[in-house]
Amino acid sequence: MNPAEPLDLIPVAIEDEMRSSYLAYAMSVIVSRALPDVRDGLKPVHRRILYAMRESGFTADKPYRKSARAVGDVMGKYHPHGDSSIYDAMVRMAQPWSMRVPLIDGQGNFGSVDGDSPAAMRYTEARLARSASYLLDDIDRDTVDFQPNYDESESEPRVLPAAFPNLLVNGASGIAVGMATNIPTHNPGEIIDATLALIENPELSLDELMKIVPGPDFPTGGIIMGRRGIRQAFETGRGSIPMRARAEIEEIRKDRQAIVVTEIPYQVNKATLQEKIADLVRAKEIEGISDIRDESDRSGMRIVIELKRDATPDVVLNQLYRFTQLQTSFAVNCIALDDGKPRLMGFKDVLEAFLRFREDVILRRSRFDLNKARDRGHLLVGLVLAVANIDAVIALIRGAPDAASAREALMTRQWDAAEVLPLLQLIHDEGNIVEDGKVRLTEAQARGILELRLQRLTGLEREKIQAELNEVAARINDLLDIIASRPRRMDVMRNELVTVRAEIATPRMTEISDALGDQSDESLIEPGQMVVTITRDGFIKRTPLDIFRAQNRGGRGRTAAGRRGDDVVVRSFNAHTHQWVLFFSSGGKAYREKVWRLPEASPTAKGRALVNLLPELGGDAITAVLPLPQDEALWEPLHLVFATASGSVRRNRLSDFRNIRASGLIAMKLDEGDSLIGVATCREGQDVFLATQKARCIRFQITADTLRVFAGRDSSGVRGIRLQEGDEVNSLCVLTHVDATVEERAAYLKMANAKRRLLAQSEEGDEAEEVVADDSGEDMEIAGDLTAERFEELERQEEILLTVTDAGFGRRSSAYDYRVSGRGGQGIANMTLTNPKRGREVVATLPVLEGEDVMMVTDVGRLIRTPVAQIRVMARQASGVTLCRVGEEEKVAAIFPVMEEEGEDVEGPDVEGADVAVVTDATPEDIAPEAPTSEGDVPPTEA
């Protein structure tokens, strides 16, 4: 360039240049690399591999060839990129766990589902699979357009004339610029059936198509959870399809079970999956697994996850689904090139695009075949004419000096058209021009005559020429009908699809389960009994019940709750992990939470602040907690009875509290200075029992007259008990109503006390039975009209109430000792509190069962667990016996029953019946030797 000449520069804004250059690059990636074509379901690299292998003769009926040779042909002729990308694409098309219908038949190491890399292409061999022929057939019959390759030295097809919807059968995935595609695989038989149905009725709805194709069908099997994601993906082209592995629980040997995985979700690496499980076990995020091993072989996949003896298989399996790729989601994003443009397509859109393309292929193929048939028929007409005038033809040829002259002589002469005119009409040939009953031969016909072998002049050969001409005529007419009639093209397409289906259809591998929906976190939680502890400052936690060992009455217990400063435990109860718990605040609001959602902590941990668990709690305190029945079907006939410290009560339906939002729900309107002390479930006809701190109590029946069902939740209720000055209600329980007279109750109590004394004196209990059976005994004289049958009936319905003071004294009493009165009275005495050492106030009164434990909680965080059977049954005025030993400044703050699960062992000494538990934060050195010092103490053997 001459420096003196001015440069031809055009100023361009950098924003415009960047925009245009980036768009050009983006479209190149989208169209030429990353996205499949909706017509054949292939990206350019896959299309080039299949076409190059066909051109090289690496078909299914030929021997295997080195993969490197096929890769070299593709790279040298069509794909100007690295050989690794070509070989990777070839490998994927040969992997049966990646493709629903593999298109490459590979021999050698083509990788594994464990993620192992394939062998180098110089070691493996490959050829086209039989299924690939249905994508390539008729490509040489002008069915698709061709384009020049990258250096214009070759030509390559823009699309393959696919005979089945390969995009849906084998799916696709790819990341372009600004967009991506992820299309799942489907069952080939179902896809072809849906295509056939759409040919029969183009107005089919998506629901009708989904009856034929219920969802994707992955080559690795597995289970699709529900149909909601499938429906969304089929309708819009986008959706999330949850999948999980197929796993079963097997007993591998005595007392040992294992989870056996035989199918995994699509595109999950089996080796990585096992490593993840092992990592979770080591990190103790999943417990209950003792070993994991891979027993997969040629017969199929088999991952064995061996469990510990005490593990619950279903829980461990649900945890594996939750935390590993045993359960994943396939994010469908069906973007494909339609008419050269990327388009988000639904299921029916893809099938309709394929039908349009396939119809065009059949039309172009028919036109191509028609031209070939006409050319052949044209030559056959010339041969027929030559045979009919063989003598004249021979004379012309013999008289010609050379072949060109002979050809010219044949073309110049006019021949009688009587022989060929019907044939020209038969094959619709317009190549020969007939004038005045004469016809001239074309150059092609003249060449055909000159190349005619003498053996074709025999009579038999002349008949073959005529027969072939008739066949060509029939073929031409059929092709003309196909070209002119769309129903005929649809018939041809239908027949070809049926043929393809017979070759590539296989049974469905992936199950679609309607029973499996979105997995709940609750299924990951080990079922079991928990001790829930709440402190005065609003800290809550749950601790497994089996941590607390059983002790005899009067023991010192173990630490159950750590304290912050002067914080004390004010409420504890036991519940199942899957139970709902209602929380009632001092402000009269209700909150709801599952037990397993409560923070789990060790016995010495302080727990978590309730204000963090219930953010809307604010400055209110939780004053009542109610575990609800685990089976929600039992909620419908149940009511809730509320009791306040001032003695008010109210009854509501439990269903009024079925739906509680996170911000809480108004439960009861409270007067200023009042608080909610208890809530219990009840039924019509049962009895409400209220007990106070000053040892007063009242019992009244629940009827529409005494305690109606309130329609609203914002009322303050009605009076339940009239309190003395300075007294407060601290206990609420619901008892079974028993129709018995005052005399019957007195007689029963006399006989029952006598029976209990005899049971304590006799291990066999024979004498106790005699008391009931002897009609002449002293007890029966006192009983009056109370017969043995009536005694047994009352005994079956008897309930026992446990009353405990703040000094750790307590006793059991029969509920028959508490008469039923009217609501709103002053009640009767519940316990005699004349000795301050035995207690100044009653902590709680609650019903207990013979097979239960009770757990007492002190204000310094100690819990003591003791069998109920070791606590004597006394009259309600009795002050009781020592249940736990408290310090000088220590008081019992709460008491609640503990029930063991069936078959659960309790640590500690062997005791008859259930236990009562007490836990403390004292160290072993702080526990003094135990000795009964208070009047009324009874050793365990005498209880």
> Token pair for residue 56?
């090289």
The residue to which tokens 């679609």 are assigned: 512
Cα 96 from Cα 448, distance rounded (Å): 52
User: Residue 428: left if φ>0, alpha if ψ -120 to 50, beta else—which one?
Assistant: left
Cα 815 from Cα 740, distance rounded (Å): 12
The one catalytic residue in 22, 25, 123, 150 is 123
Q: What angle do CA 391, 395, 399 make, to 5 degrees?
A: 175
Sign of CA dihedral 719, 722, 726, 732: negative
The DSSP H or E segment spanning 541 is strand 539-544
Residue 560, φ and ψ in degrees, nearest 5: -120, -20
CB 571 within 8 A of CB 537: no
Per DSSP bridges, beta strands 892-898 and 539-544 are unpaired
Kindly report the number of other CB atoms within 10 A of residue 822's CB atom: 9
Hey, is 779 helix, strand or coil?
helix
Hey, is 415 helix, strand or coil?
strand
Cα 864 from Cα 732, distance rounded (Å): 22
In this structure, the dihedral spanned by the alpha carbons of residues 316, 319, 320 and 322, taken in order and rounded to 10 degrees, is 160
Nearest to 746 by CA among 879, 880, 878, 875: 875
Helix spans in 5-61 (H): 14-29, 44-55
Cα 932 from Cα 881, distance rounded (Å): 10
Cα 819 from Cα 291, distance rounded (Å): 62
In this structure, the dihedral spanned by the alpha carbons of residues 219, 225, 229 and 233, taken in order and rounded to 10 degrees, is 10
Q: Is 123 a catalytic residue?
A: yes
CB 482 within 8 A of CB 489: yes
Cα 112 from Cα 881, distance rounded (Å): 73
DSSP 324: S
In this structure, the dihedral spanned by the alpha carbons of residues 673, 678, 682 and 688, taken in order and rounded to 10 degrees, is -70
Nearest to 853 by CA among 814, 819, 904, 805: 904
Nearest to 716 by CA among 652, 651, 648: 648
CB 122 within 8 A of CB 344: no
Amino acid residing at 931: A
> Token pair for residue 417?
């058209």
Cβ contacts of residue 413 below 8 Å, gap of 6+? 392, 396, 440, 441
Amino acid residing at 665: L
| 742-761 and 766-773 helices, crossing angle to 10° | 150
The residue to which tokens 């992955």 are assigned: 218
Maximum CA extent, the chain? 155
Per the document, the length of the chain is: 943
- Hey, which residues does 388 pair with through a beta bridge? none
**How many helical (H) and strand (E) elements, i.e. helices and strands, does the chain have?**
23, 45
Hey, is 457 helix, strand or coil?
helix
Q: How many CA atoms lie within 13 A of 128 on its CB side?
A: 25
Cα 760 from Cα 767, distance rounded (Å): 11
CB 139 within 8 A of CB 83: no
CB 704 within 8 A of CB 820: no
Catalytic residues: 123
